[in-house]
Structure 1
Amino acid sequence: MPEWFRANVLERMPARMSLIRDYAASLASQTLPMPGNEPGELRFDEVVAPDGTLRPSWKAMAEVAFDLTAEELHRIEDEIASLLADDGVTYEHPEAGSLPWNLDPMPLVLDAATWSRLEVGLAQRAELLSALLSDIYGDQRMLSEGIIPSPVIFGHSGFLRPLVRPEFPDPHPLIISGADLGRDAEGEWRVLADRVQAPSGLGFAMENRRVISRVLPDMYREAGLHRMEPYFSALRSTLLQSAPADVADPRVVVLSPGTHSETAYDQAFLANVMGFPLVQGSDLIVRDGWVWMKPAGYPRRAPEERVDVILRRVDAEWCDPLQLRSGSQLGVAGLVEVVARGRVQLVNGLGAGVLENPALMPFLPAVSERLLGEQLRLPSVDAWWCGEPEGLERTLADAGSPTLNIRELDGRTATLADASADDLRAMILAAPHRFVARERLPLSQIPAWSAAERAGGRAVPRQVMLRSFTIRDGSVYRPLIGGLATLAADAGEVPVTKDVWVLKGAPEDPDQGLEIAPPRELALATPMLAPRALEDMFWAGRYAERAEDMLRLVITTRAYAEELDYSTSAAGGRAVSALHSAIEALAGRDSESSAEELRALLLERKRPGSAAHSLEGLRDALEGVRDQLSGDTWRVFGTVDRAARTLRGSRHAQQIPDVAGRMLTGILSLQGVTANMVRDPGWRMIEIGRFVERALQVVSLLASTAVVTGDADAERAVFEGTLRAAESSVTHRRRNRGVVRVAGALELLITDVENPRSVAFALAAVREHVAALPASTGSSRPERLLEDLENEVADIDILTLSQQVDGERTHLAEFLESVGLELRQLSDAIAQLHFESDPLPQPISSLSLIEERMVRL
């Protein structure tokens, strides 16, 4: 280790900061040159300064960071994973599906002076981009004066010709902007990319802060950093103020592509924290020149709630199938026309995507001087547009160099990643105006600690990028003091993120620089659920009950198979066989091994009818209405996922009932969460779905176990298993003094209105909730079907059902088949009345992920 490093670095650091000391020591033994840099050149380090001292931001925290040892971070890492799972934070990977969110425990820390300089540049850049956007779709002075070449704008897919008009109505059309930033080798910030179409990450940034503040409470309290909560209040106010001028009480919605969007959690978080509905394109409709939210029962009921502001998280080309991308199921037909009339404000506007064109970067300094009369304070990374001779010559000369990043105007690099230098030159020469080259920065490095990056119990240096966010707050642009830091990763890898701590210059500085303002006086809103949300909640109830009943079957079947007197006797074998028949009726059978079959039911998500499949369907349905649910909801899935990981890591059959029991505990806790929901139509739909499914499950269970008869011992064993699987064995035992009676069991599970697990109880509960729905009239089809079903169940003679002929209860079989059919008719009738009755949309090929909702059983 060099003596200068020992003297300047290690001896100046507190001895107790073992992790930071180890990180600093590791820097002495390695050089991290970027290709093309001078050998031995180090990147800018966010913790250790060139003179060997800590950066000012870390000096301020030296005394409170002494516990950051490797052992402590092992514990913290586990806590982070648990908290994120309990909050249901996921990243929807385009190929791998839903993956856990990755958060590194060591924050990116910036001192007040560093942030102050960056903040000014971010505000100016947002103002510049807003002015440029207004010019592109208005006067187009930057084009007519030649400051920006026309092909740069007209050749970009984000430019939407239908929006161009001589006098653009909004001089400040950009309301929210984002920028991806990195530091160069000297530590100066550069913009790597502008994110203005639908900048994502605010929700993830807030979740990172929530988690880190809980796992590092001492550091968080003592650091003196800016809290993020006030910024979300400012964002809410910004959205309300962006409504058309003649709207006194604006209604705002968050438009999402759906639960399979990469940033679905981020979208739902924003909707939840601001109190705005999270909607999808199918929830909205254009009528009479306005945008409306569809009510339950649409189209029989006319739209009731007009929408004034849409926080858009759908890319512009998908927003209107009439004027933009035909066949899109993500947008709203006619939306462009409503926007053109100024009757709805999109945040950001449909044409904002043109600003994400990397070919604009070389021209922004000149644009800034022309539109703002100012020099550009926050420069972009060096870039060259190949449509100009100088840029083309430079790009062709360096094609294939690792120091150069060549992209198409629309940012696509898939066709360029593996191309040789000669192939790159050929593609560029074929259409020079379609390409732009950018310098690769030797991004700053930061100590990272994650499962993939730990090396010998030490933090390792990783390149880091910062995504910032800026909103238009009244007449000024206000950046978020903080942001979302992401470690550099290869294409296709799940990002590893960091919380961003910006320290206050003085303890009395207001958080986010915002003084607390009185809330804006608005009329109380009457929340309205769209048909799609009601459908999601209905299926959430059904999937929850389906998962619960399958888990009870698995637990009962495994318990019976393990009890010697049942598994070795004829009666016991008959009981186990009947329970397996019940499982097979619901989920089929894929394995001859009982243990392997039960194991698969807990783990195989793609197997319809399995507990894993139902839990996945439950998760998907609840994701669609995440904005309306308590955060406690996601603890259910944290419990379930941890239990499933235990079973995947073990082949012991003894783990099956334990894991199923832990999963069942998670599902049962969901009932406690829903019990605290407001008694609105959404809650009632969950209960309707739950009890419709419960009745169907009881009917299916009895059809598999109670129809075929046997001798007295076999009957007793089978019905004991049936009652146990239906969670009614204790009640039956108490009523019948421990004696299993066929008639008593059938009565308890079919006609007993006091047993919550009976068909009669389920029908009464459905009737109560259906009657309370807005579209119910007392004579609607679901209500008529319910009346007929309840009468049929009430009038049935249990003794007749108990009778057997030639080893089979034919009356029971006919009754169960009839009730099952009528329950499915009831479910269809509820859907037809209370959900949208238009034909279901047909997915285009790239949207096949919505198929699950369209083929629900």
Structure 2
Amino acid sequence: MSLLRDYAAAISQPTLPLAGTGARFDEVVGPDGGLRSAWKGMAAVAVELTGIEIGRIDDEIATLLADDGATYGNPEQGTQPWQLDPMPLVLDAATWARLEVGLAQRAELLNALLADLYGEQRLLSEGIIPSAVVFGHSGYTRPIVRRRGHDPQPLILASTDLGRDAAGEWRVLTDRVQAPSGLGYAMENRRILSRVLPDLYEEAGLHRMEPYFSAVRSALLQAAPAEIADPRVVVLSPGTHSETAYDQAFIANILGFPLVQGEDLVVHDGWVWIKPAGFPQHAPHERVDVILRRVDAEWCDPLELRAGSRLGVAGLTEAVRRGRVRLVNGLGAGVLENPGLIPFMPAVCERLLGEQLRLPAVPTQWCGDDEGLAAVLASLDQRPATEARALIIREIDGRAADLSGLDPAELRARILAAPHRFVGQERLPLSQAPAWGSVGRTSGRAGPHPLVLRSFTVRDGAIYRPLVGGLATLVDDRAAAPSTKDVWVLKNAPTDPDQGIVEVAPVPLTRAVPVLSPRAVEDMFWSGRYTERAEDLVRLVITASAYAEQLDFSSSTQGGAAVRALIGVLQRLCGTRYGDPDLEQRSLLLDADRPGSAAHSLQRLRDALEGVRDQLSVDTWRAFGSTDRAMRALRSSRRTQIAESASRMLGGILSLQGVTANMIRDDGWHAIEAGRYLERALQVCTLLASTTTASHGIGVDRAVLGGVLMAAESSVTHRRRYRGVLRTADVLELLLLDTGNPRSVAFALDRLRFHLAALAASTGSTRPERLLEHLEDALEAVDLPALTVPVDGRRPRLDEFLAETRAQLHRLGDAIVHLHFAAGPEPQPLSSLSLIEVSGADA
């Protein structure tokens, strides 16, 4: 039986296990048990989808999301995979048309309300809104209040969470306008679902989302001060540990604007600039005109807002007051997320717009007036604390947390202590839709699940334009990451323009030269180092595993010595954890808590690249998907499959390196390559120091040298150069001095010199360049025959040379970081308060 028929049958028969939700509006099944009009046009394709087929699609979705690196940062459980249900939320054109009008009006109303609260404050003086509900909210930002000269259009982007009541009418749950998130996730959902359900997608005839992003890009560019002909826009992120870091990077990438963090910007001479390397010795020269902020207002400026914040920019508030930079949305927008405003919005709409409010909100009682307080207190006594009460009780600036589960006496005392800080809201039953989820994967059938629709609106010229679509979230407080649905809004006619946009008005622009902050360039430098580190370690494990599996070889004197020598290199890099070779090799590949392991390097690499996700193609995250799948396979594989799984890991790592081939040749690319070749030189010196500085006789030395060449990917080159004759001096020449061998130290230093010279701060005489010149001179002057002379079973001069070379390389790495990536001294707190770190803006 098809999934939809099965679902419809269950919904229409209350005795079946899937029912019990009769009070809810169902998004797929009508009261008569048939499909709603939005689904009828797709019925021919939709009803053919079986549980087995949807299960396969669900697995494909998970793979594609992993390949794209789509994640959500759970504050308690860390980064979690993004969740997308295979069954979309589908709305017909008539349903959307009514909703669209209400959303456009609401955005216009919120804009007018925001302008009044920070400008003339007519609503407060006339008593339409009580002052306590505004001034008692932490989102009201007093430093930007201006009676005159305030921004008349402070709201560029808005987001509203909606739910349907039992009658199917949409109601506002909350407005999210401070740093509205989710637009990038919505686009990612569409990209994935259009790939896994191509027939249904084509049959539906829905609005594409791409034109809307062109409108958003145009709106941000036009938000710049009028006198600026070629504005620069950046996306300000709290950092890679933010809950919605992926969404922020996706938006920056698709709009073509740099993703920056607070440390990347500086206020200088009253303007906001991208901070150059070596600031303040080097003056900034790339000014920022518009900031799409994803940092909550209180964290945006440690001078005037929250002392000690490391997420914002000192002096940003003053730059905003002067009109030197435009923040989207403004610093004070957070006050609009106050649920205490909801009861007053109908009156506000009539006063500011002269219209009746079209889109009602969930019924809300503000405890700051006597009637609302009495209603909320009465609800506390209706049911025991273990049962759901009639009202959801929230603090006006406490996000969406429901306090009604607290002990009634405790909650009553908290409310009476500060009534103006609490509201009570009716429990909206929320509409339901079929969701696959964990129940579907085990039972083979979809179950009804309540959902919330997040809409998005942008100021497009003189109007507010809602996104035709959105992001639907399944309500489940237990989920580590929200499970979502793509939102399909069907066209009224095939010829209707997507998003109702015939053509986005062009904005005159000159060609922009991308500029990277020192922090972003440093992330790329370390990504190059970690990539090379992971590759070299995996190659070592593959070589050691291959030698160990050759029983007739590893049990011999020469083979056993070679295996021990290779394991010695690994232990020098990562330390010793296990005596058992199988456990040791698995740990070297999989233990992310073990410094130097492949998993540790890959995790550090992922962290570094998250900070510059906007600079990278999606192929980067597909490569991570390959390594992740190889590591999962290795955890359950047999001992004889370690080398095979490690080889698949190596393939993913090599594809990561290949991604950089198509990058623009800017400071970021040169930093990646510089990091890669610096690390390669270090790794080769470590490999040689652990294997060639001791001499155990010709037979053992040959076996060890064979492993060294294999681990250094130079076996073929050696056979061609030296006809397969293994001698220590020849191997050293190939891996130290041969400028034609890409795996040699000499080659690495030559490429490092090229990439260092291309970085902006290089002059030809900087400390990194001098250190590099010294290294090259020392390498050129080396006497290989003298280095290979054994003394009492060791080669002391070789050991000393390699140790000194490694020390010089470490000094060179430190000098590169200091010169090219330092951007002034660390900011200091203005009070005795300790610096506070938070993970980011509202989800």
Please give the per-residue CA displacement for 1:582-606, whole angstroms capped at 9, x wherever unaligned: 1111111111111111111222212
Residue of structure 2 in register with 1:627 after alignment: 614
Letter of the structure 2 residue corresponding to residue 128 of structure 1: L
Residue of structure 2 in register with 1:575 after alignment: 562
How big is the shift at 1:803? 1.1
Q: In 2, Cα distance between the equivalents of 1:414 and 1:819?
A: 58
Letter of the structure 1 residue corresponding to residue 311 of structure 2: L
Letter of the structure 1 residue corresponding to residue 457 of structure 2: T
Q: In 1, Cα distance between the equivalents of 2:836 and 2:394?
A: 23
Residue of structure 2 in register with 1:714 after alignment: 700
How big is the shift at 1:733? 2.3
Residue of structure 2 in register with 1:546 after alignment: 533
Conserved? CA contact 2:242–2:839, under 8 Å: no
Residue of structure 2 in register with 1:245 after alignment: 226
Q: In 2, Cα distance between the equivalents of 1:518 and 1:406?
A: 45
Against the structure 1 CA distance between its residues 73 and 491, is the aligned structure 2 distance closer, same or farther, given a 3 Å change threshold? closer
How big is the shift at 1:713? 1.8
How big is the shift at 1:334? 0.2
Q: How does 1:47-446 map to 2 (within 5 A)?
A: 47-399=28-380, 400=385, 401-412=388-399, 416=403, 418-446=405-433
Q: In 2, Cα distance between the equivalents of 1:627 and 1:30?
A: 49
Residue of structure 1 in register with 2:750 after alignment: 764
The reply on whether 1:22 has 2:11 as its aligned counterpart is no
Equivalent in 500, 503, 524 of residue 537 of structure 1: 524
Please give the per-residue CA displacement for 1:534-562, whole angstroms capped at 9, x wherever unaligned: 10110010000000001001111111111
Letter of the structure 1 residue corresponding to residue 299 of structure 2: W
How big is the shift at 1:711? 2.1
Q: In 2, Cα distance between the equivalents of 1:30 and 1:303?
A: 68
Q: In 1, Cα distance between the equivalents of 2:759 and 2:16?
A: 65
Letter of the structure 1 residue corresponding to residue 247 of structure 2: D
Identity %: 66
Letter of the structure 2 residue corresponding to residue 21 of structure 1: R
Judge which range, 254-263 or 62-71, deviates more. Answer: 62-71
Q: How does 1:589-600 map to 2 (within 5 A)?
A: 589-600=576-587
Conserved? CA contact 1:240–1:250, under 8 Å: yes
How big is the shift at 1:645? 1.4
Per chain length, whose mean CA-contact separation is higher, i.e. which structure has more relative contact order (CA < 8 Å, sep 6+)? 2
Against the structure 1 CA distance between its residues 59 and 848, is the aligned structure 2 distance closer, same or farther, given a 3 Å change threshold? closer
How big is the shift at 1:140? 1.1
Letter of the structure 1 residue corresponding to residue 450 of structure 2: Q
Please give the per-residue CA displacement for 1:3-32, whole angstroms capped at 9, x wherever unaligned: xxxxxxxxxxxxxx7110000111134379
Letter of the structure 1 residue corresponding to residue 179 of structure 2: A
Letter of the structure 2 residue corresponding to residue 30 of structure 1: P
Residue of structure 2 in register with 1:733 after alignment: 719
Against the structure 1 CA distance between its residues 135 and 282, is the aligned structure 2 distance closer, same or farther, given a 3 Å change threshold? same
TM-score (norm 1): 0.94
Q: CA RMSD in A?
A: 1.9
Q: In 1, Cα distance between the equivalents of 2:544 and 2:149?
A: 69
Residue of structure 1 in register with 2:807 after alignment: 821
Conserved? CA contact 2:439–2:446, under 8 Å: no
Equivalent in 646, 657, 670 of residue 656 of structure 2: 670
Q: How does 1:608-623 map to 2 (within 5 A)?
A: 608-623=595-610
Please give the per-residue CA displacement for 1:789-820, whole angstroms capped at 9, x wherever unaligned: 00101110111111111111100111011111
Against the structure 1 CA distance between its residues 418 and 591, is the aligned structure 2 distance closer, same or farther, given a 3 Å change threshold? farther
Conserved? CA contact 1:137–1:168, under 8 Å: no
Please give the per-residue CA displacement for 1:18-72, whole angstroms capped at 9, x wherever unaligned: 11000011113437999xxx98733100001112221110011112224311121
Q: In 2, Cα distance between the equivalents of 1:21 and 1:403?
A: 34
Q: In 1, Cα distance between the equivalents of 2:449 and 2:784?
A: 71
Judge which range, 719-728 or 452-461, deviates more. Answer: 452-461
Conserved? CA contact 2:14–2:22, under 8 Å: no
How big is the shift at 1:651? 5.2
Residue of structure 2 in register with 1:847 after alignment: 837
Letter of the structure 2 residue corresponding to residue 259 of structure 1: T
How big is the shift at 1:454? 3.7
Q: In 2, Cα distance between the equivalents of 1:589 and 1:299?
A: 45
Q: How does 1:679-698 map to 2 (within 5 A)?
A: 679-698=665-684
Q: In 2, Cα distance between the equivalents of 1:39 and 1:590?
A: 54
Against the structure 1 CA distance between its residues 651 and 291, is the aligned structure 2 distance closer, same or farther, given a 3 Å change threshold? same
Conserved? CA contact 1:107–1:498, under 8 Å: yes
Q: In 1, Cα distance between the equivalents of 2:171 and 2:761?
A: 56
Residue of structure 1 in register with 2:509 after alignment: 522
How big is the shift at 1:419? 1.6
Conserved? CA contact 2:104–2:457, under 8 Å: yes
DSSP-derived class of the 2:725 partner: coil
Q: In 2, Cα distance between the equivalents of 1:511 and 1:443?
A: 29
Which structure 1 segments of 5+ residues have no match?
A: 1-16, 851-857
Conserved? CA contact 1:298–1:531, under 8 Å: no
Q: In 1, Cα distance between the equivalents of 2:10 and 2:766?
A: 74
Q: In 1, Cα distance between the equivalents of 2:838 and 2:254?
A: 30
Against the structure 1 CA distance between its residues 378 and 413, is the aligned structure 2 distance closer, same or farther, given a 3 Å change threshold? closer
Equivalent in 732, 737, 744 of residue 746 of structure 1: 732
Letter of the structure 2 residue corresponding to residue 582 of structure 1: V
Judge which range, 151-160 or 401-410, deviates more. Answer: 401-410
Against the structure 1 CA distance between its residues 32 and 783, is the aligned structure 2 distance closer, same or farther, given a 3 Å change threshold? farther
Against the structure 1 CA distance between its residues 398 and 168, is the aligned structure 2 distance closer, same or farther, given a 3 Å change threshold? farther
Q: In 2, Cα distance between the equivalents of 1:808 and 1:418?
A: 73
Please give the per-residue CA displacement for 1:72-115, whole angstroms capped at 9, x wherever unaligned: 11221121111111111111221222211110110000000000
Q: In 2, Cα distance between the equivalents of 1:815 and 1:67?
A: 71
Conserved? CA contact 2:634–2:642, under 8 Å: yes
Conserved? CA contact 1:582–1:705, under 8 Å: yes
Conserved? CA contact 1:482–1:501, under 8 Å: yes
Letter of the structure 1 residue corresponding to residue 202 of structure 2: R
Q: In 1, Cα distance between the equivalents of 2:33 and 2:87?
A: 20
TM-score (norm 2): 0.96
Number of equivalences = 830
Please give the per-residue CA displacement for 1:759-811, whole angstroms capped at 9, x wherever unaligned: 10000000011112222111111111111100101110111111111111100
Residue of structure 1 in register with 2:489 after alignment: 502
Q: In 2, Cα distance between the equivalents of 1:387 and 1:349?
A: 27
Letter of the structure 1 residue corresponding to residue 14 of structure 2: Q
Against the structure 1 CA distance between its residues 455 and 773, is the aligned structure 2 distance closer, same or farther, given a 3 Å change threshold? closer
Q: In 2, Cα distance between the equivalents of 1:570 and 1:243?
A: 74
Against the structure 1 CA distance between its residues 110 and 552, is the aligned structure 2 distance closer, same or farther, given a 3 Å change threshold? same
How big is the shift at 1:842? 8.2
Q: In 2, Cα distance between the equivalents of 1:219 and 1:508?
A: 19
Q: In 2, Cα distance between the equivalents of 1:696 and 1:31?
A: 70
Q: In 2, Cα distance between the equivalents of 1:417 and 1:754?
A: 72
Q: In 2, Cα distance between the equivalents of 1:30 and 1:415?
A: 30
Judge which range, 161-170 or 381-390, deviates more. Answer: 161-170
